[in-house]
């Protein structure tokens, strides 16, 4: 089988250093070094006041929720339901964003004395979003109001069914709206063309929080009473891969603070399962909390995740966490098995190896993990990828994209072949009749081939600065960490250093990972480093051949002790282009 190195081209691009006058000004204003000043200018921070706002985001800077279209109407309807004792059903998707949103809104309603329950659709019998089955449940149980979170913007037929049953639906969503909106009582989605809300990159959970904020303002509830929800918002925003700028940065900064100082019992249970003892960062949330919450909806039911997140009992939270953790272990095994199978399918046919997209169908793949596997395939082939399996008589799947390519738009051009689809430019879900799979494979592949830029098929490693290892010291790292929370549009800084050598104790660990101890001329210290899936370089490195690296500097926790480690994104042997 061909390896990752056979498929993916990588280019290193050093970002412009910024206006020298602005760099000098911010350096003097803050008393920081040249590299830190450049990093700030690259992020648009050129004054002391901007730096203060960036390093200490203020909750007072959150936008007025009533700027969002339909917020007045939606908040009034929820308050009416609370005050009259109407039964409210909190309905959310089964992924991290949906389950955190449901946990947040359901907890708030409980605290207001509302008559409320929550509903998470079954991934396999109902699929994504509001289902007719869910509406029928609401009707049978006497609910008069459904609040959908992280879903609903495309649920035309289910919401028509709800209206016919006398049930109002408030949609809180953040996905791209279709041309035909559902006939909901109110739709909250900052991506609506005529919505004046100043920030349209909220997660579904954050849209739900804005509704909570609006209700609180109308009822005279101080914002401090809402702060316990910020840990859920941080999990949603970091795991849903939204830009960590503007309002998202404020919410995530304070949410991470909450996770480290006073997290809810369910989140603490998940961090303990991951062995986290010291301060948690965004990576810990994304790689320890997120996959475990998702695993509940992938392999059993997203209700398990909500039960964990709303639990106030430590023993119950631990038991729920252990159950979810076992689902995650099972998910990992399925993930590895299906990834191997998918890679083998591609390798067997040259046309698939050299295509500009991947579309694979296998009737026996587990529906709950094919989205993860699609991301795995992009790590090897770096191109738009759609994986399909059979579920309830349909071909159902997940799509993942590469930098700059709008996969939602490409799938939309195949809409006549689909029974449903939804998502955004980076990821999407879709279903179709089994007979349409070959036609979809052909058309989607043709659309990608005709519209994708060859540069989008190349991994572009954007480095913030070129530095010497001697520039890395505890003070530098402390300031670097204050740029957090890291995520889209505020990524952890990437550096380039040249002329590296290993001190002779490097080795291959795990699944083709390199564990190195780096030395560089002029630097008296050695730096531990990890290079995931780059074992192919070990032969040359072990012979003492010098090399250049693109990397991030990250904390590494082991046995309760935190040290610095270089996380190598790419290695270039000396003389390589």
Confidence of residue 1 (pLDDT cuts 50, 70, 90): very low
Do the domains 4-15+460-573 and 349-457 sit in the same CATH topology, yes or no? no
pLDDT single digits (tens) 498-508: 999 999 899 99
Confidence of residue 472 (pLDDT cuts 50, 70, 90): very high
The Cα–Cα gap between 70 and 374 comes to: 36
pLDDT single digits (tens) 333-377: 999 999 999 999 999 988 888 899 999 999 999 988 999 999 999
The Cα–Cα gap between 240 and 203 comes to: 7
The Cα–Cα gap between 432 and 232 comes to: 34
Question: By C-alpha distance, which of 93, 34, 43 is closest to 296?
Answer: 93
To 5 degrees, how large is the angle CA 339–CA 345–CA 346?
Answer: 95
**Average per-residue pLDDT in the chain?**
92
What's the pLDDT at 299?
Answer: 64
Domain residue ranges of the chain, discontinuous segments joined by +: 4-15+460-573, 61-262, 349-457
Q: With residue 564 as reference, give the H or E element that holds it.
A: strand 561-573
The token pair at 412 is 């939309």
| Bigger pLDDT: 182 vs 291 | 182
| Bigger pLDDT: 302 vs 236 | 236
Confidence of residue 477 (pLDDT cuts 50, 70, 90): very high
528 CB neighbour count, 10 Å cutoff? 14
Using DSSP's 3-state secondary structure scheme, residue 271 falls into: helix
Question: By C-alpha distance, which of 375, 524, 361, 494 is closest to 431?
Answer: 361
Q: How would you classify the pairing of strands 420-423 and 427-433? A: antiparallel
Helix 132-140 vs helix 156-164: crossing angle, to nearest 10: 20
pLDDT at 298 over 80: no
Question: By C-alpha distance, which of 297, 268, 310, 366 is closest to 150?
Answer: 297
Overall fold of domain 349-457:
Diaminopimelate Epimerase; Chain A, domain 1 (3.10.310)
Q: Are 531 and 571 in contact (CB under 8 A)?
A: yes
pLDDT at 326 over 90: no
Read off the pTM. 0.88
112-132: b (≥16 Cβ within 10 Å) or e: bebbbebbbbbbeebbbbbbe
Output the CA torsion 326→332→334→337 (10° steps). -150
The Cα–Cα gap between 304 and 109 comes to: 19
The token pair at 283 is 């990576």
Question: By C-alpha distance, which of 292, 286, 319, 288 is closest to 305?
Answer: 292
Q: Are 99 and 106 in contact (CB under 8 A)?
A: no
Q: How would you classify the pairing of strands 547-558 and 561-573? A: antiparallel
What's the pLDDT at 545?
Answer: 93
The mean-pLDDT minimum among 70-74, 164-168, 474-478 falls in: 474-478
Question: By C-alpha distance, which of 385, 398, 399, 395 is closest to 431?
Answer: 395
pLDDT single digits (tens) 155-211: 999 999 999 999 999 999 999 898 899 999 999 999 999 999 999 999 999 999 999
Confidence of residue 5 (pLDDT cuts 50, 70, 90): very low
Which architecture, in CATH terms, is 61-262? Alpha-Beta Complex (3.90)
Q: Is 341 exposed, middle or buried (CB count within 10 Å of its CB: 0-12, 13-18, 19+)?
A: middle
- Which regions of 120-173 does DSSP assign to beta strands (E)? 145-149, 168-172
The Cα–Cα gap between 374 and 384 comes to: 9
Cis peptide before 537 (omega within 30 of 0): no
Using DSSP's 3-state secondary structure scheme, residue 473 falls into: coil
Confidence of residue 3 (pLDDT cuts 50, 70, 90): very low
Strand partners, 435: none
The full DSSP string for 277-303 is: -S---HHHIIIIIHHHHHHHHHHS-TH
222 CB neighbour count, 10 Å cutoff? 9
Mean pLDDT within 251-273:
92
The token pair at 429 is 């879900």
| Bigger pLDDT: 292 vs 551 | 551
pLDDT single digits (tens) 78-104: 999 999 999 999 999 888 999 999 999
CATH number, domain 4-15+460-573: 2.40.50.460
The mean-pLDDT minimum among 60-64, 129-133, 273-277, 473-477 falls in: 273-277
């Amino acid at each position: 089988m061909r390896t990752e190195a056979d498929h993916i081209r990588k280019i290193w691009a050093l970002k412009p250093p910024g206006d020298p006058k602005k760099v000098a000004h911010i350096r003097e204003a803050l008393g920081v070094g040249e590299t830190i000043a450049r990093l700030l200018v690259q992020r648009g921070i050129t004054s002391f006041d901007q730096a203060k706002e960036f390093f200490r985001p203020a909750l007072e800077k959150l936008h007025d929720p009533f700027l969002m279209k339909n917020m007045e109407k939606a908040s009034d309807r929820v308050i009416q339901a609370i005050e009259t004792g109407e039964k409210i059903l909190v309905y959310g998707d089964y992924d991290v964003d949906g389950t955190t949103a449901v946990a947040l809104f359901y907890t708030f309603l409980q605290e207001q004395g509302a008559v409320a329950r929550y509903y998470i659709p079954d991934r396999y019998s109902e699929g994504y979003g509001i289902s007719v089955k869910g509406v029928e449940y609401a009707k049978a149980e006497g609910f008069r109001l459904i609040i959908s979170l992280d879903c609903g913007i495309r649920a035309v037929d289910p919401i028509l069914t709800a209206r016919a049953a006398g049930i109002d639906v408030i949609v809180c969503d953040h996905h791209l709206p279709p041309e035909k909106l559902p006939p909901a009582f109110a739709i909250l989605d900052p991506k609506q063309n005529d919505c004046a809300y100043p920030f349209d990159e909220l997660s579904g959970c954050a849209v739900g929080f804005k509704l909570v904020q609006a209700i609180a303002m109308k009822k005279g509830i101080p914002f401090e009473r809402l702060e316990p929800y910020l840990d859920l918002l941080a999990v949603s925003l970091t795991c849903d891969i939204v830009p960590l700028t503007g309002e998202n940065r404020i919410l995530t900064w304070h949410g991470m603070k909450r996770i480290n100082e006073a997290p809810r019992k369910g989140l603490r249970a998940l961090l303990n399962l991951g062995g986290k003892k010291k301060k948690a960062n965004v990576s810990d949330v994304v790689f320890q909390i997120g996959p475990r919450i998702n695993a509940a909806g992938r392999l059993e039911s997203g209700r398990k995740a909500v039960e964990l997140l709303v639990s106030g009992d430590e023993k119950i939270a631990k038991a729920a966490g252990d159950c979810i953790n076992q689902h995650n272990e099972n998910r990992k095994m399925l993930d590895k098995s299906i990834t191997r199978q998918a890679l083998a399918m591609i390798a067997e046919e040259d046309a698939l190896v050299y295509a500009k997209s991947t579309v694979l169908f296998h009737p026996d793949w587990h529906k709950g993990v094919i989205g993860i596997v699609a991301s795995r395939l992009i790590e090897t082939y770096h191109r738009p990828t759609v994986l399909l399996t059979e579920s309830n008589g349909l071909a159902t799947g997940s799509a993942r994209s590469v930098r700059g390519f709008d996969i939602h738009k490409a799938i939309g051009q195949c809409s006549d072949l689909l029974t449903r689809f939804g998502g955004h430019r980076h990821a999407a879900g879709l279903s179709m009749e089994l007979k349409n799979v070959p036609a979809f494979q052909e058309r989607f592949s043709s659309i990608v081939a005709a519209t994708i830029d060859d540069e989008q098929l190349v991994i572009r490693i954007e480095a913030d600065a070129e530095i010497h290892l001697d520039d890395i010291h505890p003070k530098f790292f402390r300031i670097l960490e204050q740029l957090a929370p890291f995520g889209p549009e505020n990524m952890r800084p990437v550096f380039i250093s040249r002329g590296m050598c290993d001190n002779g104790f490097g080795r291959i660990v795990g699944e083709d990972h390199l564990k190195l101890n780096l030395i560089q001329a002029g630097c008296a210290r050695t730096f531990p480093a990890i290079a995931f899936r780059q074992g192919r370089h070990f032969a040359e490195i072990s012979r003492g051949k010098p090399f250049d690296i693109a990397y991030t500097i990250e904390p590494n926790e082991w046995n309760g002790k935190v040290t610095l480690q270089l996380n190598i994104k790419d290695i270039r042997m000396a003389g390589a282009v």
